[in-house]
Amino acid sequence: MSAKRLSEGGRIDRSKRIRFQWDGRAMSGHPGDTVASALLASNEKVLGRSFKYHRPRGIMSCGVEESGAIITVGEGAKRDPNVKATMQELYDGLVASGQNAWPNVRTDVGSVNSLISQFLSAGFYYKTFMGLPPFETGKGTGIWMWYEKFIRKAAGMGRASREPDPDQYEHGHLFCDVLVVGSGPAGMSAALAAAEYGLDVILVEQDNELGGDLLGQKGSDIELRRTELVGALENAGVRIMTRTTAFGLYDYGTAGLLENVTDHLASPDPHLPRHRFWTLRARRTILATGGIERQIAFDNNDRPGIMNASAGRIYLNRYGVLAGEQVVVATNNDSAYRCAMDLSDAGAEVTLLDARAKIPGRLLELIGDRGITLMTNSAPLSAKGLNGVNSLEIAGGKAGGWRSKGKEVCDLLLVSGGWSPVVNLISHRGVRPVWNAENCCFIANEPHEGICMAGTAAGIWNTADCEDSGTAAGEAAAKALGKATGSGGASTSMPAVGGWDMPIKPLYEVRIDGRKSKALVDPQHDVTTEDIRLAHREGYVSVEHLKRYTTLGMSTDGGKMGNIIGLALMAEALGKEIPEVGTTTFRPPYTPVSIGALRGRSVDEHFRPLRRTPMHDWNLAHGATMTMAGLWHRPWYFARQGETITEAYIRETETTRKTVGLCDVTSLGKIAIQGPDATEFLNRIYTNPFAKLPIGKARYGIMLRDDGFVMDDGTTWRLSETDYFMTTTTAHAGKVMVWLEELLQTRWADLRVHVTSVSEQWAGCAVAGPESRTVLKNCVNDPSVMEDSAFPFMGVIETSLKGDIPCRIARISFSGEMAYEAYVPSDYAHALMEMLHPEAVAVDGCLYGLEALGALRIEKGHVTGAELDGRVTIEDAGLGKMASQNKSYIGSALRRRPDMTREDRPKLVGIFPVNRSEKFNAGTILCKKGEVSGLGEGWITGVTHSPALGHWIGIGFISGGHEAWSGKTATAADPVRSKEVQVEIVSPHMYDPSGERMYG
Amino acid sequence: MIRIKCPFCGERDHSEFTYGGDASIVYPALDASAEEWHDAVFLRENIRGMQSETWHHVNGCRMWLVVQRDTVTHEIRSVRPAHEATAKLFAASEEEVA
Ligand SMILES: [Zn+2]
């Protein structure tokens, strides 16, 4: 028997009971408990299994460095693996389970891995990848795949849920004068000092209460001081954020904060986000992030029942749990004396091992006549007991090493190997921490970018000194920000580093040469002292390599538990001092950040907003099935009763060619280009001449990039001397707009041109087919404007529709039929369709969608974004005659580079199946007949059934173009779908090549 | 995490801007040789330190800006409108204020 809840003491509310489930069993705790403290109070020893060897693990700490009690919380979609039981607050109905064990953590089949552990040493994964000499046949990935099946089953952390995350997350921004991270004595004092100078201060604390170390100390005077400070902070207007972790520091005084909003609640308000991700910008930052107590490496130092000395004290003073009855406290520094005293006062039988030989009188006075057995010059050597420590073999110091000096029965072993100030955050800013040999820790106390350290994070050990250092840091921040000037200014001086009565004795490992041991350095990744030495023997000298080879410090605690011991052992193996070995780089996040918090609200339609045209509802009401085109929703086809998509688009295509079809083309980009130099501007960006485009005419244009490849195509309409209306493809609308702005602002500042995106202002409908003129004639106020003589091919008119709806119409054709594009201000979109549609129906016309639009344009060999993919020259697209020989324009110099004018470049072609009854797919590779290999000779970008031709046709690119393939058969290969079709390569103008219908 | 002081909008988060490129490039005349264009389009210095670059306030005023930025520290020394005549107007009005 050992751990138990005491009848009084601590910050828990014994009057209320919280019920929860652990590994399928009903348990209970109290408000104020964490899962760890509640399980400890119930004397649960084994809470997890280790990563590689499945060693039993219990609670090792009381904070974010926890490496033993790593559990899964929640069920179903809300299952969250790798939660530190020490950080998870208890709530009613919480469901938790152990990880990495089957059937459960107490009886685990995988623990057999312990028996083969010599094969799972440092670099195991790398070695299996490289093969196991001398069995060279087993080289490489083959042997890895053989091993992998077994390794995967046995190793690993928890399992994430595979269901979509049902929770919401938020992003927010914060600004303040001074950010204080950590609310221990130093942090609270710093925040208070800065706030008292009238500065806007934010204090963040990862815990659920302010106080830091004060929460784990005993005595009413301590609690009095804490509440006094909290009250003063509130009065001074400090913005306090608890359950909030500053996980990273970035440029410009930016801190990343993760606020846990609901993880501690049984039934949170459904409107609350689970986490908030804050981007905070502070003018000054004070890091009062405290310290983390270190372990010492000795045989079986990871057994359940072994934890940090400070944790044993916190479980007692904060949670009212006495973690053991027969306790050994092992230390190499002063800090564990308080722990020994508190546990002794609570009724435990305490033996205190101090690795130091002489103990100063003040410490002896402190422990007084409590009956604590003090053994100096002593250290832990080997823990006994598999699922819970039951005794400890003790080492006594001798010249140059250790000897065994007997056993001590115990049910709890508390270890203090010294303290590591939390310097992670300032390291994120590129600051290299400096080794302080006297205190055996890395510190980073030089202020950098307005960031400074305070309290234990600065290597200051005593509570009173911590308060002073916080006050000094707060005053310094105020001074730097122009407050605290003159004689009334900063007065507190920064205390010196350290503060113990007697120096710490450097002690990282206790072992006796020649004796086998299993001493863990990084318990989460099962990295042992032997692994470090093995890595050294195998030639690793850099800590960065050591880390990657052994995986030391790469587990979910980020090396908080074992990094320093690892460095010390490496230094010893290399015969160097720790500073010469250096430390690895700390990187954000300090503690894990949920993926949900990173994405915030950027999910579904918030990630990919839906763009609807002003005709959206009208289209839906008229039977449209919609499809995505970029962010746009566009009509795909308008099925009539029982029609399939194929039947529908074939009917729409046939109807359009026979009578008339209407299609929503609003998603095209539209840009107003205005100003005295608009003509010159267009003439520079388009490959074809625009200088002499008459008013009332439109022209199809191609624009290139600087490097000579095609950027986009579209029509530009001249409305007046100085006013043009440009259309772009749907896909490139945004890009073209940015490009025009760049040219006008950075290159051609002398051109007096203004560009304005008017895509949202104009709604458009294509009216295509032999009856298109009839339809529009019946809609315009003055039918004479539609006469062929008044409105020829490529003509533009600005007129009004019945009801005086303003309208601009161009006679342009993407379908190859006589066709018009009519645009009205967006508010009139519905009215436009209401007017056009009955007129179209009256002449047996119909609505058509993207699928029919595709069929019509493929029959004609017209290009879209699928063809203009950024790798295509104007010649490749078959539009070479649009490249003017008489002027220079963007891309004209570089489009003539040798590789871009090669004869065998893939060129736009049409594709027919040799056997006209066969079908093939877009995305198919075109190869020489029977030579299906490599990249082939080309590719297919679009495929449709052609009602006009009566068979399937395609559009795509093939080396040399259709002339090079006349009389030859190519193979359209689709290896993914195991399909090959023999095809003929033809001109891309597959239907009405002379364009008679269009000029109609 | 860069913040850019847009001369038109004030200090804004970098997420409102898109990066353009090297602002020191002088693009040749449209009828210049392919060699000149090749150098302007493809040759770039990989500067460690202060660099002149263009940024577009694409989710703001849509103005192109010339930003002097240290590629190591992200320190921004100056921001001005890329459009030269506009930049001159700004400089003149700043002098007036001074
Ligand atoms: Zn702006």
Given a cut of 70, is residue A153 above it in pLDDT? no
The shortest CB-CB distance from B82 to any of A173, A746, A889 is to: A746
For residue A550, what pLDDT is reported? Answer: 87
Amino acid in the structure at residue A607: F
Instruction: Report whether the peptide linkage leading into residue A103 is cis, meaning its omega lies within 30 degrees of zero.
Output: yes
Confidence of residue A137 (pLDDT cuts 50, 70, 90): very low
pLDDT over threshold 80, residue A135: no
Give pLDDT, residue B94: 75
- A607 class by beta-carbon count within 10 Å (0-12 exposed, 13-18 middle, 19+ buried): exposed
Q: CA-CA distance, A768 to A662, in Å (whole number)?
A: 7
* Confidence (pLDDT) at A152: 53
Residue A307 amino acid letter: M
pLDDT at A777: 98
For range A243-259, the mean pLDDT: 97
This prediction has a pTM of 0.89
Dist CA A39 CA A60 (whole Å): 13
B1 contacts A706? CB cut-off 8 A = no
Partner-chain contact B56 A892, CB within 8 Å: no
pLDDT reported for residue A63: 95
Which one of B4, B8, B27, B30 makes the best mutation probe of the A interface by having the most chain A beta carbons within 10 Å?
A: B30
CB atoms near residue A595 (< 10 Å): 10
| Cross-chain Cβ contact A893/B37 below 8 Å | yes
CA triple A215-A216-A221, angle to 5 deg: 65
Contacts of A279 in chain B (CB under 8 A): 1
Residue A845 Cα distances to A656, A659, A767, A831, angstroms: 7, 6, 10, 18
3-state secondary structure of A986: strand
Domain spanning B3-97, CATH class? alpha beta
Query: Worst-scoring range by mean pLDDT, A244-258, A583-597, A635-649?
Result: A583-597
A138: pLDDT strictly greater than 50: no
**Residue A284 in this model has a pLDDT that exceeds 70:** yes
Number of Cβ within a 10 Å radius of residue A422: 25
Q: Do B20 and A746 touch (CB under 8 A)?
A: yes
CA of A755 from ligand 1 middle (Å) equals 17
**Using CA of residue A340, residue A342, residue A343, residue A347, what is the dihedral sign?**
positive
Nearest to A427 by CA among A405, A404, A409, A444: A444
What is the side-by-side order of every strand in the sheet holding A80-84?
Answer: A25-29, A18-22, A94-97, A70-73, A80-84
pLDDT of residue A131: 46
Measured in angstroms, the CA of A746 and the nearest CA of chain B are apart by 5
User: Is A339 strand, coil or helix?
Assistant: helix
Q: How confident is the model at residue A134 (pLDDT cuts 50, 70, 90)?
A: very low
A969 three-state secondary structure: strand
Give me the pLDDT at residue A477, please: 96
Residues A285 and A190: beta-carbon distance below 8 Å:
no
Q: How many residues does chain B have?
A: 98
Residues B15-33: b if buried by 16+ CB within 10 A, e if exposed: ebbeebeebebebbeeeee
Of B20, B34, B42, the CB nearest to A893: B34
Ordered alpha helix ranges (H), A589-689: 595-599, 616-621, 645-658, 678-685
Q: Residues near A229 by Cβ (< 8 Å), separated by ≥ 6?
A: A185, A188, A189, A192, A210
* Joined tokens for residue A39: 């399980």
Q: Which string of DSSP letters, residue by residue, matches A825-838? A: EGGGHHHHHHHHHH
Rounded to the nearest 5°, which phi and psi values hold at A525?
-105, 15
- The pLDDT tens digits for A371-418 are 999 999 999 999 999 899 999 999 999 988 999 999 999 999 999 999
- Taking CB atoms and an 8 Å limit, are A251 and B74 in contact across chains? yes
Tokens of B47: 């500067």
Say if residue A128's pLDDT is above 70.
no
Minimum distance, in Å, between the CA of residue A550 and any CA atom of chain B: 32
Per the model's pLDDT, the better-predicted residue between A865 and A353 turns out to be A353
Q: Is A132 exposed, middle or buried (0-12, 13-18, 19+ CB in 10 A)?
A: middle
Residue A120, pLDDT score: 61
Query: Integer distance in angstroms from the first to the last C-alpha of chain B?
Result: 31
Cα–Cα distance, A124 to A127 (Å, whole number): 5
Structural domains of chain A ordered from first start: 4-116 (3.10.20.440), 170-291+421-480 (3.50.50.60), 612-666+761-855 (3.30.1360.120), 669-757 (3.30.70.1400), 902-999 (2.40.30.110)
Nearest of A760, A710, A762, A718 to residue A736 by alpha carbon: A710
For B34, the closest chain A residue by CA position comes to A893
Q: How far apart are CA A96 and CA B96, in angstroms?
A: 68
Handedness of CA A650, A651, A656, A658 (dihedral sign): positive
pLDDT in tens, A667-699: 999 999 999 999 999 999 999 999 999 999 999
Distance CA A671, CA A715 (A): 11
Q: Which of A419, A330, A405, A309 is nearest to A374 (CA)?
A: A330
Structural tokens at position A101 = 């064990």
For ligand 1, the distance from its centroid to the CA atom of residue B6, given in whole angstroms, is: 5
Q: Could you tell me the distance, in angstroms and rounded to a whole number, from the CA of residue A742 to the centre of ligand 1?
A: 14
- Ranking A665-674, A935-944, A949-958, B86-95 by mean pLDDT, the lowest is B86-95
Question: Do the Cβ atoms of A888 and B30 come within 8 Å?
Answer: yes
By CA distance, what is A248's nearest residue in B? B1
> Which of A574, A530, A585 is closest to A123 using CA atoms?
A530
Calculate mean pLDDT across residues A98-115: 66
Nearest chain A Cα distance for residue B87, angstroms = 11
Q: Which residues, in sequence order, are CB contacts of A272 under 8 Å at separation 6+?
A: A168, A261, A262
Within 10 Å of residue A498's Cβ, how many Cβ atoms? 16
Ligand 1 (ion): residues with CB under 5 Å are: B 6, 8-9, 57, 60-61
Facing B37 at nearest CB: one of A281, A741, A894:
A894
pLDDT digits (tens, 9 = 90+) for A893-916: 999 999 999 999 999 999 999 999
Q: β-strand A661-664 against A846-847: which pairing, if any?
A: parallel
User: In Å, how far is B33's CA from the nearest CA of chain A?
Assistant: 6
Concatenating the DSSP letter of every residue in A459-477 gives: TB-SHHHHHHHHHHHHHHH
Chain A positions touching B64 (Cβ under 8 A) are: 741-742, 745-746
**Minimum-distance CB partner of A251 among B2, B27, B31:** B2
- For the question of an ipTM over 0.85, the answer is yes
Of the partner residues B1, B31, B83, the one whose CB lies closest to the CB of residue A888: B31
Give the amino acid at A282: A
Burial of A955 (0-12, 13-18, 19+ CB in 10 A): buried
Query: What are B67's strand-pairing partners?
Result: B53, B79
Query: Pick from A910, A925, A913: which is nearest to A962 by CA?
Result: A910
Calpha distance A111→A385 (Å, rounded)? 15
The single-letter DSSP state of residue A585 is P
User: According to the model, what pLDDT value does residue A537 have?
Assistant: 92
Q: CA dist A617 to A626, A697, A756, A823, A962, Å?
A: 11, 32, 27, 18, 43
| pLDDT score of A547 | 84
Which backbone phi and psi does B5 adopt, to 5 degrees? -85, 90
Q: How many degrees, rounded to 5, is the angle at CA A120 between CA A118 and CA A122?
A: 100
* Residues in A touching B28 (Cβ below 8 Å): 893
Helices (H), A780-907: 829-842, 850-860
| Best to test chain B binding among A174, A703, A741, A745 (most B CBs inside 10 Å) | A745
Which of A407, A419, A416, A383 shows the shortest CA–CA distance to A305?
A: A383
Mean pLDDT of chain A: 93
Q: Given an 8 Å threshold on Cβ–Cβ distance, is B54 in contact with A742?
A: yes
Residues in chain B within 8 Å Cβ distance of A285: none
Whole-angstrom distance, CA of residue B98 vs CA of residue B86:
19
Q: Which helix (H) or strand (E) holds A81?
A: strand A80-84
In this complex, do A254 and B85 lie within 8 Å of one another by their Cβ atoms? no
| B27: closest chain A residue by CA | A747
Whether A819 has a pLDDT exceeding 50, the answer reads yes
SS (H, E, C) A745-801: HHHCCCCCCEEEECCCCEEEEEEECCCHHHHHHCCECCHHHHCCCCCCCCEEEEEEE
Q: Which residue of B has its CA nearest to A430?
A: B73
State the smallest CA–CA distance between residue B29 and chain A in angstroms.
9
- Phi first, then psi, for residue A821 (nearest 5°) are -115, 125
Strands (E), A85-158: 94-97
- What pLDDT, on a 0 to 100 scale, did the predictor assign at position A111? 60
Q: Which residues in A lie closer than 8 A to residue B82 (C-beta atoms)?
A: 745-746
Phi-psi region of B62 (alpha: psi -120 to 50; beta: other; left: phi over 0): left
* A34 secondary structure, DSSP code: B
* Domains of chain B by residue range: 3-97
- Give the number of other Cβ atoms within 10 Å of residue B47's Cβ: 15
Candidates A571, A579, A562, A249; CA nearest to A433 is A579
Per-residue pLDDT of chain B (98 residues; tens, 9 = 90+): 789 999 999 999 999 999 999 999 999 999 999 999 999 999 999 999 999 999 999 999 999 999 999 999 899 999 999 999 999 988 887 776 65
Reported residue count of chain A is 1000
Torsions phi, psi for A140 (to 5 deg): 75, -155
Lowest mean pLDDT: which of A135-149, A296-310, A489-503, A627-641? A135-149
Residue of chain B whose Cα is closest to the Cα of A745: B83
